[in-house]
């Protein structure tokens, strides 16, 4: 039997309509978009159409959308790009971030620190929410960037981005948010949020892997990481991956069409899981009430998540213990530790994440299996 997939936060299955769009693009738009002949211009037109769809998804201007290889590259390009721009102009660089960021942001900030930047990591409360007072206090005259994720990839917590961005805007400090987990799943407007930069990845919204987006508001000075032919208006040189870009455009269109319906369904699934898992003795939940629909992180006292995940996999259920980017490391989650969980509790926590193709019967089967395994493993 095909495993029941409950790890949508790690990656989403590609929608068949996206696959069809990509296959057509690979067949029809094989010309180099930089070529002036008709085949090249057809590829350029396909990219332009996809850019419009992506911009519409996050309420941005199309000319502020830059295609990358994924969320990791987008985060790196923005954070290091601002640092290199400051270094080129011989200006000091202070970066404000949080202790629960994805490794793409955390390691990029670490690189900048190694190269001479000053980095301040803001703590979070027990729900995983960035403390606004601490954030405001961390901003300085030489702060060149603040970067706080929109939704946490492990516990689904939504951060007060609009409020944090307003604090930066009042001080003329560029604000970036890693929105990889959120784009396509909840309504997002870069204008309403007031952010200067936002990054996301195609494979988290039923699109292909290897394609991502950096939204960058005009006027923010960033030195490009990749230099060459000047594609993406000089921000990201390299011949464009036309089929992947077309696939992302189709994924963005489908997300806009289906978002409200999917949110309602996932919120009902989340409530069902919360109620059902509460009935298992010794369970605890991670994260607050304000979180992404479909993301549920919990633990069972006395049962190691590594052992539970293996048993669930044998039973035909694919779930995870947190960030897929840190898979294989049997260490307590730094996110959960930052939220006040003990190392033992962090090692007892798992993440169930649902999506477009999840069905209620699958969740009922999962809950029944989990209840049985909890009893067996305690014995």
pLDDT of res. 335: 96
pLDDT of res. 158: 97
pTM (two decimals): 0.95
Is the pLDDT assigned to residue 326 strictly greater than 80?
A: no
pLDDT of res. 328: 55
pLDDT 10s digits, 127-167: 999 999 999 999 999 999 999 999 999 999 999 999 999 99
pLDDT 10s digits, 39-62: 999 999 999 999 999 999 999 999
Residue indicated by tokens 């996206």? 18
What values do phi and psi take at 320, rounded to 5? Answer: -140, 175
pLDDT band at 379 (very low <50, low <70, confident <90, very high): confident
pLDDT of res. 336: 96
pLDDT of res. 329: 57
Say how far residue 237 (Cα) sits from the centre of its chain. 24
Which of 106-115, 251-260, 318-327, 346-355 is predicted least confidently? Answer: 318-327
Cβ atoms of 293 and 263 closer than 8 Å: yes
Residue 68 CA to residue 166 CA, distance in Å, equals 27
Cβ atoms of 248 and 55 closer than 8 Å: no
pLDDT band at 2 (very low <50, low <70, confident <90, very high): confident
Is the pLDDT assigned to residue 327 strictly greater than 70?
A: no
pLDDT band at 323 (very low <50, low <70, confident <90, very high): low
Does 109 participate in catalysis according to the annotation? no
- Write a three-state SS string for 355-376: CCCCCHHHHHHHHHHHHHHHHH
pLDDT 10s digits, 94-131: 999 999 999 999 999 999 999 999 999 999 999 999 99
What values do phi and psi take at 95, rounded to 5? Answer: -120, 135
- Domains (ranges, CATH) in the chain? 4-12+259-378 (3.90.1150.10), 16-254 (3.40.640.10)
Residue 201 CA to residue 205 CA, distance in Å, equals 8
Q: How far is CA 107 from CA 54, 70, 75, 114, 278, in A?
A: 27, 16, 10, 10, 36
Options 93, 112, 168, 325, the catalytic residue: 325
pLDDT of res. 65: 98
Cβ atoms of 334 and 21 closer than 8 Å: no
Burial state string for 3-31 with b = 16 or more CB within 10 A and e = fewer than 16? ebbbbbbbebebbeebeebbeebeeebeb
């Amino acid at each position: 039997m095909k495993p029941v997939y409950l790890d949508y936060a790690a990656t989403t299955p590609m929608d068949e309509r996206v696959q069809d769009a990509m296959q057509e693009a690979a067949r029809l738009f094989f010309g180099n978009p930089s070529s002036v002949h008709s085949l090249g211009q057809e590829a350029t037109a396909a990219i332009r159409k996809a850019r419009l769809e992506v911009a519409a998804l996050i309420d941005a201007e199309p000319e502020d959308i830059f295609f990358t290889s994924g969320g990791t590259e987008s985060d790196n390009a923005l954070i290091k790009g601002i640092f290199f721009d400051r270094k080129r102009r011989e200006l000091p660089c202070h970066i404000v971030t949080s202790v629960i960021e994805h490794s793409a942001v955390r390691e990029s900030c670490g690189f900048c620190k190694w190269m001479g930047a000053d980095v301040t990591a803001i703590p979070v409360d027990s729900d995983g929410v960035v403390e606004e007072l601490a954030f405001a206090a961390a901003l300085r005259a030489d702060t060149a960037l603040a970067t706080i994720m929109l939704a946490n990839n492990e516990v689904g917590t939504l951060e007060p981005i609009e409020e944090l961005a307003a604090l930066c805007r009042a001080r003329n400090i560029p604000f970036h948010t890693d929105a990889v987990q959120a784009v396509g799943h909840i309504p997002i407007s870069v204008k309403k949020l007031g952010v200067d930069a936002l990054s996301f990845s195609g494979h988290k919204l039923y699109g292909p892997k290897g394609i991502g987006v950096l939204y960058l508001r005009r006027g923010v000075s960033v030195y490009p990481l990749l230099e060459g032919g000047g594609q993406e208006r000089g921000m990201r040189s390299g011949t464009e991956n036309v089929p992947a870009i077309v696939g992302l455009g189709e994924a963005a269109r489908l997300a806009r069409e289906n978002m409200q319906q999917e949110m309602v369904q996932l919120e009902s699934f989340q409530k069902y899981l919360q109620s059902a898992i509460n009935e298992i003795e010794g369970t605890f939940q991670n994260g607050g009430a304000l979180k992404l629909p479909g993301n549920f992180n919990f633990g069972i006292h006395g049962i190691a998540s590594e052992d539970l995940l293996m048993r669930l996999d044998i039973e035909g259920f694919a779930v995870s213990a947190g960030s897929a980017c840190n898979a294989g490391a049997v260490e307590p989650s730094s996110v959960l530790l930052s939220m006040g969980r003990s190392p033992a509790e962090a090692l007892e926590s798992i993440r169930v994440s649902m999506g477009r193709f999840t069905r209620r019967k699958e969740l009922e089967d999962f809950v029944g299996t989990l209840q049985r395994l909890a009893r067996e493993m305690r014995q």
